[in-house]
Amino acid sequence: MFLLILFAFVAVGVSFICSILEAALLSITPSYVAQLKEKRPKLHAKLQNLKTNIDRPLAAILTLNTVAHTAGAAGVGAQVGVVFGDGYLAVASAVMTVLILVLSEILPKTIGAKFWRQLAPMLPGILNFLIMILRPFIWMSDQITKRIGGEEHVDVRSEIKALATLGHEQKLIDADERRVIGNMLDLHTIRVRDVMTPRTVCESVRPDETISEFLYRAKTLPYSRFPVIDADEVPHGIILRNEALEADTDKTINQLARDVDIVAESVNVEQVMRMLLDKRQHMALVFDEHGTWMGVVTLEDIIETILGQPIMDETDTVPSLRRYAQQRWDKRLKQSDTDNSDTTNEKH
């Protein structure tokens, strides 16, 4: 009877521990491991190694679990035949199945998944010991997995978006925060042409204008920076209103213009944002592949893209210059169609 209990304990008990270890290991998140880097660097290094080479601890756990199940079940079957007779083998098998299902699968995996934070500090010591004593089996497992497939590509951006959506659904973050996270992750897919301020609503100045002419024209405009473009659409930089106010009014714009970067309209917004921040600039001029000036892109345009809504101050009269440009263009087309229709009617 003692041997029967011992074999049953081995089958269920060892499997119980293995299931807890497996569930806890798989539940540890990359963000948790990253947080340990400064607080507990040694634990961080050990857990990072286990998560990076997760095939090795899993192989050790599953090997020990399989050995315990096989040896325990065989021992229980043999002892039931000795103690109770062969007629009780079916009953013993049913009881062992229930015990293994509940006590070595459902219960321990629930515990491991729920309390993985508390169990995480203990995992490296236990799992590294198992890896050491089961090294031959792990080596065979490594050889098999290497031949089955390579490294899996993880789409981190999609996972972060999914976490943001989940956080919003659980009311941990609000809708604006979720939108900002999603827009930040999508910056590399958005082109400058989609966020720039079109030339139709840009107020440019000629390089040969005098400062006095510029200030007279600019006094009713809400902009602080103006692109300097000549008649042939050759860029000469940008002019800042504040610098013009302090300059000699007889000077020309070209004498005061600052250098400005030129970007293609097909470049992604993330690249432009990094460029502007690195160079401590606020604006870049946008040209197409034919060298035609298309408009300007500013840090404000990019921030509005991230926030998903326009930034307006006391002097702004329209919420979106892009929308305003489209409305002006539509109005111009409509007026052109009307004029053409009137001309046709007069001829007839």
Write out pLDDT tens, residues 72-110: 777 776 776 666 666 666 777 777 778 778 888 899 999
Q: What is the pLDDT confidence band of residue 337, given thresholds at 50, 70 and 90?
A: low
Dihedral sign, Cα of residue 263, residue 267, residue 272, residue 274:
negative
- What is the per-residue pLDDT for 88? 64
Annotate 44-73 with b (16+ C-beta within 10 A) or e (fewer): bebbeebbeeeebbbbbbebbbebbbeebb
Residue with tokens 């827009």: 183
- What is the per-residue pLDDT for 316? 47
Sequence letter at residue 320: S
Sequence letter at residue 55: D
The H or E element spanning position 115 is none
Annotate 293-314 with b (16+ C-beta within 10 A) or e (fewer): bbbbbbeebbebbbeeebeeee
The H or E element spanning position 276 is helix 269-278
3-state secondary structure of 279: coil
Write out pLDDT tens, residues 305-326: 888 866 555 444 445 555 555 5
- What is the per-residue pLDDT for 97? 75
Phi/psi at 321 (nearest 5 deg)?
A: -65, -30
pLDDT above 80: residue 141? no
pLDDT above 80: residue 160? yes
Q: What are the structure tokens assigned to 295, written together?
A: 């408009």
Residue with tokens 């990072």: 48
Domains, in order of start, for the chain? 2-148 (no CATH), 156-189 (no CATH), 192-343 (3.10.580.10)
3-state secondary structure of 294: strand
User: Mean of the pLDDT values across residues 223-236?
Assistant: 87
pLDDT above 50: residue 277? yes
Q: What is the pLDDT confidence band of residue 274, given thresholds at 50, 70 and 90?
A: very high
Q: Got the DSSP string for 227-258?
A: EEE-TT--EEEEEEHHHHHHS-TTSBHHHHPB
Q: What is the pLDDT confidence band of residue 119, given thresholds at 50, 70 and 90?
A: very high
User: Mean of the pLDDT values across residues 228-250?
Assistant: 88
